[in-house]
Copies of this chain bind each other. A is one copy, B any other.
Amino acid sequence: MTTIIVFEDKANMRESLKLLLENEPDFRVLGLFPHCVRGVEHVLQLNPDIVLMDIDLPEINGIEGTKRIKKASPDTQIVMLTVFEDDTKIFESIKAGADGYLLKKSIPSELIPAIRNTVTGGSPISPGIASRVLHAFREKSKPKALSFELSKREHEVLELLTKGYSYKKIAEHLFVSVDTIGTHIKNIYSKLQVNSASEAVAKALKNRIVE
């Protein structure tokens, strides 16, 4: 038996969800609420397996509600429902701890299997949403392309600088003189257009030149 509560401000949508869910013999709707101001209390009291959460709720929106519920009851699985394919809302929801993300238009066909997947630890995501998540994921992992045309040795020196090594330590590490490291660093500064070690380190990390 899978127990469910719903936060959805529109009455007809609430009713539709109720009908849809109660059509499944192993689903049980424990509650339907028009907002999640008392969301945490409801969840702690009813202890549902699944929460269906509309994103656009009055007073406390679904993202904030999700944060609170996840904090109070981390094992409750929360599936977001939304009409929007808005990047910010998607990412905020994910960060808030949502376990699934469905577009309302796909509810009739996808909701029931989505809930079943959620129960077994999966995260149903509508393809339109997933596409954006993947895109963001790629952005975060890809190198910034900008190599600044550092030579191999300069790159090496920059990497050690990023570790907080002094000129002397770097020199020892690479078996060259301190002056050589000095020259390399001068050249690095010139290529990165910076003029201190900390600035170079910041630029290197932000542009993923190292690590």
CA distance A22 to B205 in the complex (A): 50
Distance between A178 CB and nearest chain B CB, rounded to angstroms: 15
Contacts of A194 in B (CB 8 A): 164
Contact, CB under 8 Å: B195 / A164:
yes
CB contacts (< 8 Å) of A122 on chain B: these are 126-128, 130-131
Once the chains bind, are A130 and B137 in contact (CB under 8 Å)?
no
Which residues of chain A from 117 to 142 have any CB-CB distance to chain B below 8 Å in the complex?
A: 117-118, 121-128, 130-131, 133-134, 136-138, 140-142
Residue A161 lies at the interface, judged by CB distance under 8 Å to chain B? yes
Q: Are A164 and B124 neighbours in the complex by a CB distance under 8 Å?
A: no
Contact of A54 with B by CB under 8 A = no
Interface of A is mostly: helix
Q: Which residues on B sit within 8 Å (CB–CB) of A114?
A: 127
A131, chain B: closest CB distance, angstroms: 4
In the bound complex, do residue B202 and residue A200 qualify as a contact, i.e. CB atoms below 8 Å apart? no
Of the candidate stretches A5-13, A37-45, A89-97, the one touching chain B is: A89-97
Which residue on chain B has the smallest CB distance to residue A127?
A: B122
Interface residues of A (CB under 8 A from B): 91, 94-95, 97-100, 114, 117-118, 121-128, 130-131, 133-134, 136-138, 140-142, 161-164, 166, 194-202, 205-206, 211
Please list the 3 inter-chain residue pairs (A to B) with the smallest Cβ-Cβ separation, ordered nearest first.
A164-B199, A122-B127, A117-B127
Listed by A's residue number, 13 A-B pairs whose Cβ atoms lie within 8 Å are A91-B141, A99-B131, A100-B127, A114-B127, A125-B134, A130-B130, A140-B140, A161-B198, A164-B195, A164-B196, A197-B197, A201-B201, A201-B205
